[in-house]
Amino acid sequence: MTRPSHWILISLAAFATVVSATGSWRRVFTSPKVDHWVNQRGTHARRAVELGRPVELFGAVFDRVGKPLAGAEVRTLAGDARGRTDADGRFAISVTGRCSHELVVESEGPFTPAAGVAVPGQPLFVVLEDAAPWHVPPATTPERSLLVGEGYLKDDAGDAVAFGQVAVRETGTTVIADQFGRFRIPLPTAGEVTLVASDADGRVARSAPFKASRRSGLVPVDDLVVGPGATVAGLVRDESGQLVDGAIVVAADGEVRRIAVTGRSGKFFLDGLCQEHEYALTVLPHHGKLGSALSIVAHGHIDRDLFLSQADDRRFHVVRADGTGVADAHVVVSYSGSAAYGRADGDGWVSIPDVVPADLASDAMGIVFDVRDAETTPLEVVSVADGTITVKG
């Protein structure tokens, strides 16, 4: 009997892994190209955390229709580490510690800078929206939390869950527990806080909302006990029904996210969801196409399919109540988390490319309009119908 070639062995080893923003890795036939990059970076980062060595934060940057952005600058909010994306929009920067880091992403051109929370071992995917003249850049000075919660991550037998992840639902701040399951996590000083935890097996824990008794210092929090989590799986297709390879699917609960990447089969799989809690399930823009979004309540295992469709160029006429055009008006059109910007001409006509899926039936369906005059003073939108945006005044 002959031995299989080394190429066959390599191909078998490349069967996929989907990385989740708060935990485990599952084999779901993802693209070898995506799998190799995500798996290699993630494995290296997790081992570095366990050994107490510097760790790489990694991910990719796209424009609002999912095209990779090369040369974008990615830096920590503290400014102590930075890098640039490659031709595929990917980045990797080295940091120390087992806590998440807030990253600031900027790119030349008409893009709004963005911030995101990067967790050691999981990729961060950032979509840069169109820049409007009034956009507010991300903060350049990190806000250091003086309130820190301390607790333990355990299983139902009372044993420590080593190197599990604990996140703050309201901020996305994430830490990795030590080998004894002990964690310390920065907490917001105002409002209620909910902690969400997961381990490498997809088990989860979620605290009841609580409010710290003080505004600074170290405060104890109840132990987090992991139990079975919910899962969601499905397919991502384009408008022609074709399965989509390399689409990024996100399940968000507040600022805590689980992430999966589809493979050639178009399949995605997300585990580590908290039972009976609501998630926003979204497929990010992908190679010029916009993604669908829906709301799910996680329970056991559920199947949901998502779709990508070609974006539609839209031409709008910005007018006042008397029908006169608003010259040089600024218009931002937002749909499903994506924002497109355009500037009207002297008669109030503005064309905004790639703004919503082409099959969207109504101008008002899920679309938000931010309209401002030539001096960027906000204008109240009275109605939107048949491509006409009527503003007050």
Q: pLDDT, tens digit, for every residue of 258-273?
A: 999 998 899 999 999 9
Q: How far apart are CA 242 and CA 262, in angstroms?
A: 13
Q: pLDDT, tens digit, for every residue of 120-143?
A: 888 999 999 998 888 777 666 666
For position 139, what pLDDT does the model report? 64
Over residues 97-103, the mean pLDDT reads: 88
Q: Which residue's structure tokens are 């064309």? A: 351
Give 78's pLDDT tier (boundaries 50, 70, 90).
Answer: confident
Amino acid of residue 345: D
Least confident of 29-33, 211-215, 226-230: 29-33
Q: How far apart are CA 35 and CA 348, in angstroms?
A: 48
Number of other CB atoms surrounding residue 281 within 10 Å: 24
Say if CB 253 and CB 184 are below 8 A apart.
no
Helices then strands (H, E): number in the chain?
Answer: 2, 33
Q: How far apart are CA 278 and CA 293, in angstroms?
A: 13
Domains of the chain: 12-132+229-304 (2.60.40.1120), 147-225 (2.60.40.1120), 311-391 (2.60.40)
For position 142, what pLDDT does the model report? 62
Closest residue by Cα to residue 355 from 318, 312, 315 = 312
DSSP-derived secondary structure for 266-300: -EEEEEEEPTT-EEEEEE--BTTEEEPEEEEE--S
pLDDT of 46 > 90? The answer is no
Q: How far apart are CA 292 and CA 357, in angstroms?
A: 9
- 331 in helix, strand or coil? strand
Q: How far apart are CA 85 and CA 91, in angstroms?
A: 5
Give 16's pLDDT tier (boundaries 50, 70, 90).
Answer: very low
Q: How far apart are CA 20 and CA 122, in angstroms?
A: 6
Q: How far apart are CA 111 and CA 105, in angstroms?
A: 10
Over residues 363-371, the mean pLDDT reads: 76
Higher pLDDT, 138 or 79: 79
pLDDT of 60 > 60? The answer is yes
- The fraction of the chain above a pLDDT of 70, given in percent, is 87
pTM of the shown model:
0.81
Q: How far apart are CA 360 and CA 363, in angstroms?
A: 8
Output the CA angle 167-263-240, nearest 5 degrees: 115
First to last CA, the chain: 84
Structure tokens at 121: 């071992």
pLDDT of 227 > 80? The answer is yes
Handedness of CA 20, 25, 27, 29 (dihedral sign): positive
Number of other CB atoms surrounding residue 222 within 10 Å: 12
| Cα distances (angstroms) measured from residue 47 to each of 118, 212, 373 | 17, 33, 53
pLDDT of 29 > 80? The answer is no
For position 35, what pLDDT does the model report? 54
DSSP letter, residue 243: B
